[in-house]
Amino acid sequence: MKLVIDGIPVEINRKKIKHMYLYVKPPEGAVSVSAPMRMPRQTIERFVREKRGWIEKRQESYRRQYGTAGTDSADGADGGNSGGPQIRPLDEKDRAFLRKEIAEILPRWEERTGLHCAGFQIRDMKTRWGTCNTRTGKLWFALMLARQPRECVEYVVLHELAHLYEPSHNARFKAFLDLYMPGWREIRKSMR
């Protein structure tokens, strides 16, 4: 279902989940909400209105990051016939942006799951989204997560935190993810 809330087009996806999630997806900054099946439409609309400032900041960040400025660009064009937005290399701005995002997400998952890490760091990893040192309790997140939608960051944070409960990717680990994020498999598939 598509709604326009205070001038913002929003894709609403009803799912078998307990909590509502708001996503602003790169590169264009499209907004979507995953909401519980029976949640009233007014509750969803109020939630989006309350998050308007965050949505606009996120969209502006994507415009700078991906060059998807549209009519805001000086000549009305996005780099001619280049076949899509030019993606700049990841840098310190991305590290700061991701650090702030994880700092918002991690405490919520710690509170929800009762698991607590000893801290987190961001580093430039090419082959994995994150790692968990079960001995020290420290989590590491890949800088390239800065280019993923928020739902993907949420998934990776929960995934790494879950390793404090179960170090391997066995049935116990997957059951833990199923309990706290039933749609985690779909999110994992969507990550590129």
Lowest-confidence range among 62-66, 143-147, 156-160? 62-66
The pLDDT assigned to 88 comes to: 59
Question: Which letter, b or e, does each residue of 28-42 get, where b requires 16 or more Cβ atoms within 10 Å of its Cβ?
Answer: ebebbbbbeeebeee
User: pLDDT tens-digit profile of 92-127?
Assistant: 777 888 999 999 999 999 999 999 999 999 998 888
Q: Where in the sequence is the domain holding 97, given as residue range(s)?
A: 92-190
- Last residue of one domain, picked from the residues 72, 105, 129: 72
The pLDDT assigned to 87 comes to: 54
Q: Is the pLDDT of residue 84 over 90?
A: no
**100 and 177 within one domain:** yes
**114 and 150 within one domain:** yes
Q: Are 155 and 111 in contact (CB under 8 A)?
A: no
CATH code of the domain containing 143: 3.30.2010.10
The pLDDT assigned to 77 comes to: 27
The pLDDT assigned to 24 comes to: 86
**121 and 46 within one domain:** no
Number of domains in the chain: 2
**178 and 105 within one domain:** yes
User: pLDDT tens-digit profile of 46-73?
Assistant: 999 888 888 888 888 777 766 644 322 2
- Last residue of one domain, picked from the residues 21, 39, 72: 72
**115 and 37 within one domain:** no
Record the tokens describing residue 121, joined without a space.
């760091």
pTM over 0.85: no
Question: What's the average model confidence in pLDDT over 15-35?
Answer: 86
**98 and 45 within one domain:** no
The pLDDT assigned to 29 comes to: 83
